């Protein structure tokens, strides 16, 4: 699904994936595509530059459940439906009705929190394909993905200080852990917008590529990743996540069980055998 194709399709209410036209999704805020070994999670609100409303936040959770349940999907790629925006933030037009005060904000907060947890806690790797705009809640979503690949020219920032709202601890911790406390203070308190080169220098994104090369680069990277052992990738993701918790909160039994599962798996035997036979392994995820 090239960016140019998806832009054209957005205008006509459909899009292309793998050269095939997909229609009838114009009313859905979140789309999924199964293109084994890849799965696509697509934010489909082009008229508001993919700003996430309450429905879209909930849609991310449902989409992740669907993609996680497909054994043929090894790696999930998240992107915006068009090239002009990954996610432009939360849909501020909902704030007067859904986040008018602290009580409403607490109730609403569950939706973004559940969405980011669905991304970060998925057993499958999630790659963010970022182009155009990655602002506010969009950056929060991107930071919940495992790897972030962005096009030059993308704009980043968290303008919460211009709106008078504050991010919950989980979101601020994620930003601080990835970009460092000094950069987190700069981003949150200045509320400034910065370019992809600066985001790369901060460590907010893993790779920086030319816009016309973005999808091919992401697709190639994710396809190579998908050839690795699924149980090993799930264990690595869970171990890193637990390692970032306070020592007393770490689920060491869970990590130990996942490590043992890898050593007892068919994939481990296949990996060793393939290495000795000097061929590529054929992992099955069991």
State the residue for tokens 């933030």: 89
Rounded to two decimals, the pTM is: 0.86
Query: Cα 244 to chain center, whole Å?
Result: 18
Residues paired with residue 157 on neighbouring β-strands, in sequence order: 135
* pLDDT number for residue 171: 86
The model's pLDDT over 42-53, given as tens digits with 9 standing for 90+, comes to 999 999 999 999
Residue 110's pLDDT band (boundaries 50, 70, 90)?
confident
**pLDDT tops 90 at residue 165:** no
More confident residue, 105 or 174: 174
- The full DSSP string for 223-285 is HHHHTS-HHHHHHHHHHHHHHTS-GGG--HHHHHHHHHHHHTSHHHHHHHHHHHTTS------
**pLDDT tops 50 at residue 187:** yes
Q: Rounding to the nearest 10 degrees, give the CA dihedral for residues 123, 3, 175, 254.
A: 0
**Mean local confidence (pLDDT), 104-108:** 65
**Mean local confidence (pLDDT), 101-116:** 77
Q: How far apart are CA 62 and CA 57, in angstroms?
A: 9
The model's pLDDT over 136-158, given as tens digits with 9 standing for 90+, comes to 999 999 999 999 999 999 999 99
Backbone angles phi, psi at 89, to 5 degrees: 125, -170
**Mean local confidence (pLDDT), 211-240:** 96
**Mean local confidence (pLDDT), 83-88:** 93
> In CATH, what number does 3-226 get?
3.90.226.10
**pLDDT tops 90 at residue 108:** no
**pLDDT tops 50 at residue 83:** yes
* pLDDT number for residue 10: 41
**Mean local confidence (pLDDT), 175-195:** 96
The model's pLDDT over 229-284, given as tens digits with 9 standing for 90+, comes to 999 999 999 999 999 888 888 889 999 999 999 999 999 999 999 999 999 998 99
* pLDDT number for residue 102: 67
Specify the DSSP element, H or E, that contains 78.
strand 75-80
Return the percentage of the chain with pLDDT > 90, whole number: 71
């Amino acid at each position: 699904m090239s960016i140019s194709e998806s832009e054209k399709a957005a205008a006509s209410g459909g899009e292309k994936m793998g050269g095939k036209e997909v229609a009838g999704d114009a009313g859905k805020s979140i789309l999924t595509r199964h293109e084994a070994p890849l799965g696509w999670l697509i934010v489909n609100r082009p008229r508001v530059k993919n700003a996430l409303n309450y429905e879209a936040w909930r849609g991310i959770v449902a989409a992740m459940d669907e993609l996680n349940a497909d054994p043929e999907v090894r790696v999930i790629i998240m992107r915006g439906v068009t090239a002009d925006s990954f996610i432009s933030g939360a849909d501020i037009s909902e704030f007067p009705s859904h986040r008018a005060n602290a009580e409403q904000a607490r109730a609403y907060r569950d939706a973004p929190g559940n969405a980011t947890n669905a991304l970060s806690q998925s057993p499958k790797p999630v790659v963010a394909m970022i182009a155009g705009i990655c602002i506010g809640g969009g950056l929060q979503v991107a930071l919940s993905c495992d790897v972030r690949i962005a096009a030059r020219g993308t704009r980043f920032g968290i303008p919460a200080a211009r709106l008078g709202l504050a991010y919950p601890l989980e979101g601020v911790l994620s930003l601080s852990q990835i970009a460092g406390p000094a950069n987190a203070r700069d981003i949150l308190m200045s509320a400034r917008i910065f370019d992809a080169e600066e985001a790369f220098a901060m460590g907010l994104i893993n790779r920086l590529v030319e816009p016309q090369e973005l999808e091919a680069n992401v697709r190639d990277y994710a396809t190579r990743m998908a050839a690795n052992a699924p149980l090993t990738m799930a264990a690595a993701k869970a171990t890193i996540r637990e390692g970032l918790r306070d020592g007393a909160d770490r689920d060491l039994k869970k990590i130990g069980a996942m490590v043992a599962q890898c050593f007892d798996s068919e994939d481990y035997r296949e990996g060793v055998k393939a290495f000795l036979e000097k061929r590529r392994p054929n992992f099955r995820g069991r």
